[in-house]
A and B are shown apart, each in its own frame.
Chain A
Amino acid sequence: MYIQRLLPNLYRDSVSLMQLSAALGKLPGVEQASAVMATPGNLEFLRQAGLVNGDVVPRPNDLLVALRGKSTAQLEAALATALASLNDESAKDIKGAVAEAPLRSFQMALSGAPQANLALISVPGDYAAAEAMKALRLGLHVMLFSDNVALADEVALKRFAKERELLVMGPDCGTAIIDGVPLGFANAVRRGAVGVVGASGTGTQQVTSLVHRRGGGISHAIGTGGHDLGKDVGGITMLHGLGLLARDADTKAIVLISKPPSPAIAREVIAAARKAGKPVVINFIGSTEDPSGGNLHVSRTLDDAAAAAVALSNGRKPGRVAAKTLKVPRVKFKKGQRYVRGLFSGGTFCYEASALLGDVWSNAPVDPKRAIEDPWKSREHTLIDLGDDVFTRGRPHPMIDLRLRNDRMLQEAADPQVAVILLDVVLGYGSHPDPASELVPAIEKAQGISRKKGRSLAVVASVCGTDEDPQGLERQEKALREAGVLLTESNASAARLAGALVAKLR
């Protein structure tokens, strides 16, 4: 069955007609279809394709619709479709924005944002070093949030950047604040006169949010990543950041935060700090060295460092801090209850608590001899960093997903020797939008388990955050307090309180 229809003096370009032909060919009952200008060449072509039977006289100014199929009705329907399509004069909207190509590379992004001065990179670690190198080559400072970057790559990136006076924060840099703008996991803090260089993301979050809580403010907080102060990298970013803050007119006092560096690097950092020309507070977490004197002030805890920095940035001397009195509430523990179990989402909080409590087992121990064999199973006093790779493989970080920690809390509550659960709660950009809403039910459940056995379970926690954080510090603390949590302002105080609660339980 064939249908041929000539449409006189109707011109369409060949591409439109091919498109129409393809559409007609898909209609039910149509075996082959073609819409062409009826030139001799096109007619010959259709004849060869078996679409034209009999003689059709070439009429180059006419449009020919040729259809072949089984039933006349279906072919008539197809022809009607063709005519409707050819006669469609509805004006198509030719305006409408041209789709912008998605920005795939820094170079591409720079063409639209030439003023950009920092690349924030959080791509998978396998690709992060290459991305950072490209950013540096394009003259951008870099914050490398990504982890799992090879140490050799970190050294190469930082040396390359140093020659060009560019800053590389990271790899594995969780937190920074530049010009009041939070980068990565950071708290909303007011602008002010305290500058921070931190090798620890949560350490920096604790200091910046405590500075804010105590009325101070942050000029800039620079992150270095956890390997910067090792001997391979040699503290390139810490020294660079220190230099930047020393020259920055807005910064009146500087805080340096790190786990204890290798001795040679520590000497170099301390020497540079002495030349900063402004007060520098050093918190080498867990270190007992004390190079204080002149413009240098050593703090044992992040809490003390924040307090000292606020005072110094206001031109005051830091007060005596260690003797702060601790209010220890009475808790009626059952006989046999005596251990602290700390469950941390921030590695530095875990480490600081270990340093303060002393004899604890941990998967991130201050004393290597106290490394726990099985991080899934607590023994005696145990502090666990749930941000450890062991726990985060295939799972979101515990600051975002609280389920693993909540499950562990129930496991600890069932242990008759456990007296105190010690927690950190981290607010700020990037963290869980409402951690109390998930913690409170778990805490109540844990206390229920303990109560059923005639025990009392003390839950001690500190919330790291500010009133400007999206989660709201006050709202979070209120919900926790109402659940019976013993709250302190800082992680160090929480650790001390936990220690005091079990001190007499021997």
Chain B
Amino acid sequence: MSSLFGKPLSVLNEGIASFADAIVQRGGTATRLEWAPPAGGDRAVGMALARLVNHPTVEAANAKAAERYMAAQPRLEGIGVAREVLPHLGSRMILHAGPPIAWQRMCGPMRGAIVGAILYEGWAEDADAAAALAKSGDIQFEPCHHHAAVGPMSGIISPSMPVWIVANATHGNRAFSNLNEGLGKVLRFGANSREVLERLEWMQKTLGPTLGAAFEVSKELELKPLMAQALHMGDEVHNRNVAASSLLIRRLVPALLKSSASAADAASVIEFIAGNDHFFLNISMAACKSMLDAAHGVAGSSVVTAMARNGVDFGIRVSGLGEHWFTAPAPVVNGLYFPAYTTKDAAPDLGDSAITETAGLGGFAMAAAPAIVKFVGGTPQDALANTLAMAHITLKRNGAFTLPALDFAGTPACIDARRVVDTGMLPVINTGIAHKEPGVGQIGAGVTRAPLACFTQAVTALATEVAP
């Protein structure tokens, strides 16, 4: 010291606003805070947070976790069958989106999707029998996230399904996702009718193997450059994937035509992908999962490595806090609804797709996709503001994913649970809205926020882990 004397006084004023006026009138510098009690006014959490701010252990751990996230190089390696490539998938196990949940508590779309998966696997004859089997306890349900996997909406992965394989070339970890079925009556929204099951069968018998054949020819596909290009074309690779899906098919078609796949199969696969603006979503999610798994498990780190919803609970995981989920009730999404539907019809927030926001994309990259902000009646300026705001709760700007509208600044990445609690600025998530009844499908899309309670619990837990 003394940095207090001898340097121009520059004050951060928190509380009574007029104090800043006096400072400025007498030649000092004052920055005005608009303070609100952190942690929703919970004093105990506030004290725990205060002990962690700028804590050397946490700072060092976060630097390491962020470095691992940044260094990750996700590559699309190809297609596999879930039971063959997911290391710990049981033979009678079904994976679902979000944090762990028992059948009894599951939301409508997830139950519908599980019934569909049981029928698809041939474990039951009809829907009633499938529901009874699900209820009986003979089928294991586990989160996708416990298997290095992610799935949009109900996120169902059963043993026979084809899955994308993304490998992180830097750290060697792999991540998986199911394949996107398109819109309308689809399993991930809880539909389980004959047409849904027939499509799943086609995906298993034709789509998966045909894409597999294409990857035999093209080998792996680097995902960071493709996603970066898509950001420059108006995607945020969560709720808007039209550019990325187009870029993907541009890479796949030549390989498909050179592959061993029949012309008829190749044509049907190309037609299927070309008809689905969201085909890339699942790949985007697996890429994000592989980058964040690399950042997970650094002791003392407050970096959020997963945000996921099961339609009942919203859960997060934190790098330094092991496999624990910090959960709170999933919010209902504020958004635009298709004709004839309202918030009363909506299931609470659902799906693993918030892994994209966790990785600094989706809502965090809204500046790349201003059209998205119209879901909540906003302006392109709001899209930029959302991205800029998220920079205050993140540790890094990811130079691999740049934003033209912000003069090519990197996307804000590596959410710091401490900063979320300290500022009360909640991670913004772009998402689709599912009907609460199984099988109706998507009824809208919008923007929502991760619940504060997940982060206050995480901060409390981290404060007990880290010595004062």
Which A positions have Cβ atoms within 8 angstroms of B?
Answer: 13, 15-16, 18-19, 21-22, 25, 32-34, 41, 45-46, 49-51, 92, 94, 96-113, 115-124, 126-127, 129-131, 133-135, 137-141, 145-146, 165-167, 178-184, 186, 188, 220, 244, 247-248, 250, 429-430
| Interface pair B340/A49, CB less than 8 Å apart | yes
Chain A residues whose CB sits within 8 angstroms of the CB of B25 once the complex forms: 429
| Interface pair B50/A101, CB less than 8 Å apart | no
| Interface pair A16/B22, CB less than 8 Å apart | no
B14 interface neighbour in A18, A110, A121, A141, Cβ under 8 Å:
A121
Quick one: which of B1-49 are within 8 Å of A by CB?
1-5, 7-16, 18-19, 21-23, 25-38, 41, 43, 46-47, 49
| Interface pair A430/B2, CB less than 8 Å apart | no
| Interface pair B26/A182, CB less than 8 Å apart | yes
B36 interface neighbour in A100, A104, A429, Cβ under 8 Å:
A104
Chain A residues whose CB sits within 8 angstroms of the CB of B425 once the complex forms: 101, 104
Whether, in the assembled complex, B146 has its beta carbon less than 8 Å from a beta carbon of chain A, the answer is no
Which B positions have Cβ atoms within 8 angstroms of A?
Answer: 1-5, 7-16, 18-19, 21-23, 25-38, 41, 43, 46-47, 49-51, 53-55, 183-184, 336-340, 371-372, 374-375, 377, 379-382, 384-385, 388-389, 392, 419, 422-425, 444-445
Chain B residues whose CB sits within 8 angstroms of the CB of A113 once the complex forms: 10, 12, 29, 31
| Contacts A133-B53, A244-B5; A41 near B11 (Cβ below 8 A) | no
- Alpha-carbon distance A180/B22, docked complex (angstroms): 11
- Alpha-carbon distance A188/B26, docked complex (angstroms): 8
| Interface pair A107/B419, CB less than 8 Å apart | yes
Chain B residues whose CB sits within 8 angstroms of the CB of A51 once the complex forms: 339
| Interface pair A130/B38, CB less than 8 Å apart | yes
| Contacts A111-B392, A130-B50; A25 near B339 (Cβ below 8 A) | yes
> Closest Cβ of chain B: how far from A126's Cβ, in Å?
6
Chain A binding surface SS class: mixed
- Alpha-carbon distance A139/B54, docked complex (angstroms): 9
Chain B residues whose CB sits within 8 angstroms of the CB of A19 once the complex forms: 336, 374-375, 377
Residue ID in chain B nearest A106 by CB atoms: B12
Chain A residues whose CB sits within 8 angstroms of the CB of B50 once the complex forms: 129-131, 133-134, 137
> Closest Cβ of chain A: how far from B36's Cβ, in Å?
7
Q: Given A98-B385, A133-B53, 14 more contacts at CB 8 Å?
A: A49-B338, A98-B381, A102-B34, A103-B31, A104-B33, A119-B11, A120-B19, A121-B14, A139-B54, A141-B4, A145-B16, A166-B1, A167-B4, A179-B9
Q: Which 4 pairs, one residue from A and one from B, show the smallest C-beta to C-beta distance? A: A122-B15, A181-B28, A429-B22, A102-B34
| Interface pair A138/B9, CB less than 8 Å apart | no
| Interface pair B38/A112, CB less than 8 Å apart | no
| Interface pair A101/B385, CB less than 8 Å apart | yes
Chain B residues whose CB sits within 8 angstroms of the CB of A16 once the complex forms: 371, 374
> Closest Cβ of chain A: how far from B362's Cβ, in Å?
15
Chain A residues whose CB sits within 8 angstroms of the CB of B16 once the complex forms: 122, 145, 430
- Alpha-carbon distance A145/B35, docked complex (angstroms): 15
| Interface pair A123/B9, CB less than 8 Å apart | no
Chain B residues whose CB sits within 8 angstroms of the CB of A182 once the complex forms: 22-23, 26
